Structure 1
Amino acid sequence: MSLGQQLKTARLHANLTQEEVAEKIGVTRQSVSNWENEKNYPDIRSVIDLSNLYQISLDQLMKGDEKLINHYQESSNVVRSNKHLFKIILISLTIILALFILHHLMPNHFEWLLAIFIIMVITAGIIIHEIIQRI
């Protein structure tokens, strides 16, 4: 049974309205409706709150709904990808700043400017590659 069907069945079994459920877990009634009608999925915090409210184990709520499991897996991958992109940008900016400082300490060395330019081009390429992978 899908998560949406389980949520609706559990709500009706608990004799609660969508409005009452929404109030108890701190979301809108529209959110509860969307979850039950499988228009979208609740975030993990809401799934835990619903599990507690309906006294249904998370295992029972989530297992069996392959689309839900794929949704959370994809969400997790986006977070990891964003962290990876942030690290690339931070490391690149640090290297560029260090080379820029070295260039000012030794202004007669053109190779520092060339190194800064090359690293900026490589960084831009990596960032563009990461963004294209997400599309």
Structure 2
Amino acid sequence: MEIGKKLKEARLNRDLTQEVIAEKLNVSRQTISNWENEKSYPDIISVIELSNLYSISLDDLLKGDDAMMEHLQESTNVVKSNQKLLRAIILNIIVVILLVTLGMFLPSKSYYLVMIFCLAIVSSSLLLYQMIKRI
């Protein structure tokens, strides 16, 4: 059985609403709905809290749901996450260097420089987003 079905079944067996569970976990009701409908998966901390709330062992809750196990493996793999972040940083540095170099060879028209500056800002913003998302 998929984790969403298990979560919904356990919640209904305890006569609890999505609102009550959401309040206890400090998430929105829509988040609980998304977990139960398998549109998204809870993080490992939420899985543990749900296990406690529903008095279900983690083994029973997680066993048999390969997609959830893959999600947990990806979200808790620090080395892989660090490698992705390092690649993003290196790519950003290369892009900025290329844009600066390109700016040196273009005619001294101001709109070229503005365009290059904007591209550098977008590239740096994407990197910052990845760093914040990681936190």
Cα distance in 2 for residues equivalent to 1:67 and 1:82? 19
Which AA in structure 2 matches 1:24?
K
Q: CA 1:32/1:87 → structure 2, altered by over 3 Å: closer, same or farther?
A: closer
Mean alpha-carbon deviation: is it higher for 11-20 or for 63-72? 63-72
Instruction: Give, in angstroms, the shift of residue 86 of structure 1.
Output: 6.1
Q: CA deviation at 1:25?
A: 1.5
Quickly say closer, same or farther: Cα 1:71–1:82, change in 2 above 3 A: closer
Percentage identity across aligned positions? Answer: 58
In the comparison of the two structures, how many residue pairs are matched? 89
Matched ranges for 1:74-113 at <5 A? 74-77=74-77, 79-84=78-83
Residues 42-76 of structure 1: CA distance to partner in whole angstroms, max 9, x if unpaired?
Answer: 01110001000000001110111011111122223
Scaled by the length of structure 1, what TM-score is found? Answer: 0.59
Inter-partner Cα distance in structure 2 for 1:14 and 1:32: 15
The structure with the larger Rg is: 1
Provide the residue aligned with 2:117 in structure 1.
Answer: none
RMSD: 2.1
Unaligned regions of 5+ residues in structure 1, if any? 90-135
Q: What runs of 5+ residues in structure 2 fail to find an aligned partner? A: 90-135
- Kindly report which structure 2 residues correspond to 1:1-135, keeping only aligned pairs within 5 A, or say none: 1-77=1-77, 79-84=78-83
TM-score between both structures, scaled by the size of structure 2: 0.59
**1:53 corresponds to which letter in structure 2?**
L
Residue identity matched to 2:42: P
Cα 1:47/1:85, change in 2 over 3 Å? closer
